[in-house]
Amino acid sequence: MEEVLKIQQKIIPEMIELMEKRYNILRNIYYSQPIGRRMLSRNLELSERIVRTEINFLKEQNFIEITLPGMVITPQGEEVIDKLKNYIHQTKGLNDLENIIRQALGIRDVIIVPGNLDEDLNVMKELGKVAANYLKSILSDSSIIAITGGTTVKDVVESMPKINNLNNMIVVPARGGMGRNLETQANTLVSNLANKLNCNYKLLHVPDNLSSEAVNAMVKEKSVKDILDVIYSANILIYGIGRADEMARRRGLSEEEMEMLNLKKAVGEAFGYYFDREGKIVYSNPTMGIKNEHIGNVEHIIAVSGGESKAEAIIATELNNKNGILITDEGAARKMVRLFNEN
């Protein structure tokens, strides 16, 4: 199959380009439906004339329908999107990228989806769908799933199908932190995921940025300790990755703390820890939940993050994470490989 693809790319490269373009159009409609032609043109950064031509072709093939609210994907269109995934994956050389990144980071597995989140917000939904499918494949009776908050994990939860055939599973927040946005708080996502999995859950009502003294006092409470014991026993951890500067602002760190992060050259953040370019922890928020020393005991550590701008942060947080599974996008992956080659 790979040999055939390489020959096609050499002899008729325009066919590959056209297929990728139509795949991107179908995928964009699928995740944004119903969507108008003008909005689609803007999302894909293509002229309305080109989009009109392609839309007419896709309609003739019965891959889309044009309704009053906008374009929608037909069942035949969904089938084409699904069947084209592996083909597009290979034509873009994403299998090779996955192997390069997996070996460079020293992690268990890497899954790359086409596109760049920095340029196409629909890539976030694709990341969520792929992560949800991966989670579904590793779930078993008595699984303990710990998840962080954030928009990335929210998309994973929303993409998760209903599951009713597993017993004694439990979902818990990976760490404390109330946050400002209720929809992306860890506790909210825990409840939503537990509903999808038809299982029990426990919540941890602890705000971010507590003092160390307050944290030490609260962990002595039996109700808190019981929840922490479950969190520390998690065999699946799902989390997003952020740039250190962005996450410091979002978590409300002081000017002094932000300056300290800058001096220590922090570039990435994951579950409250800030990492430098060599993957060393240079700072952490004093809060309750999973600690870095527990990470090595977690069987499946699933990081979900995309966008070229996150490449350096992903490398910093994932280096030598032996049980790590990275689900990222093409934009971040290609930038990561460039960074590896520079070092």
The domains of the chain are located at: 2-91, 94-342
Query: Span 100-111, mean pLDDT?
Result: 96
Q: Quote the pLDDT of residue 3.
A: 63
Q: If you search the block for the tokens 């708080």, which residue do you land on?
A: 185
Q: Quote the pLDDT of residue 2.
A: 56
44 pLDDT more than 80: yes
24 pLDDT more than 70: yes
Tell me which DSSP letter residue 63 carries: S
Tell me which DSSP letter residue 37 carries: H
Q: Quote the pLDDT of residue 185.
A: 87
Query: Span 30-37, mean pLDDT?
Result: 90
Nearest alpha-carbon partner for 327 in 178, 192, 133: 133
Percent of the chain with pLDDT over 90: 54
Give CATH for domain 2-91. 1.10.10.10
When comparing pLDDT for 246 and 17, which is higher?
A: 246
Q: pLDDT digit string (tens) for 233-288?
A: 999 999 999 999 998 888 878 888 889 999 999 999 998 899 999 999 999 876 77
4 pLDDT more than 70: no
Q: Do domains 2-91 and 94-342 have the same CATH topology?
A: no
pLDDT band at 7 (very low <50, low <70, confident <90, very high): low
324 pLDDT more than 90: yes
Tell me which DSSP letter residue 309 carries: G
When comparing pLDDT for 337 and 257, which is higher?
A: 337
Residue 147 belongs to what H/E stretch?
strand 144-147
How far, in Å, CA of 244 to CA of 236, rounded? 24
Q: Quote the pLDDT of residue 207.
A: 67
179 pLDDT more than 60: no
In sequence order, the 6+-apart residues with CB closer than 8 A to the CB of 165 are none
Structural contact between residues 99 and 93, judged by C-beta atoms closer than 8 angstroms? no
User: Counting Cβ atoms within 10 Å, is residue 3 exposed (0-12), middle (13-18) or buried (19+)?
Assistant: exposed
Lowest mean pLDDT among 49-63, 212-226, 313-327: 212-226
pLDDT band at 101 (very low <50, low <70, confident <90, very high): very high
In a 13 Å sphere around the CA of 124, the CA atoms on its Cβ side amount to 16
Q: Quote the pLDDT of residue 204.
A: 82
Q: pLDDT digit string (tens) for 210-233?
A: 666 776 777 777 777 888 889 999
Q: pLDDT digit string (tens) for 146-163?
A: 999 889 999 999 999 999
Q: Quote the pLDDT of residue 293.
A: 80
Query: Span 130-138, mean pLDDT?
Result: 96
Q: From the options 1.10.238.10, 3.40.50.720, 3.40.50.1360, 3.40.50.1460, give the CATH code of 94-342.
A: 3.40.50.1360
Q: Quote the pLDDT of residue 8.
A: 62
Query: Span 181-197, mean pLDDT?
Result: 90
40 pLDDT more than 70: yes
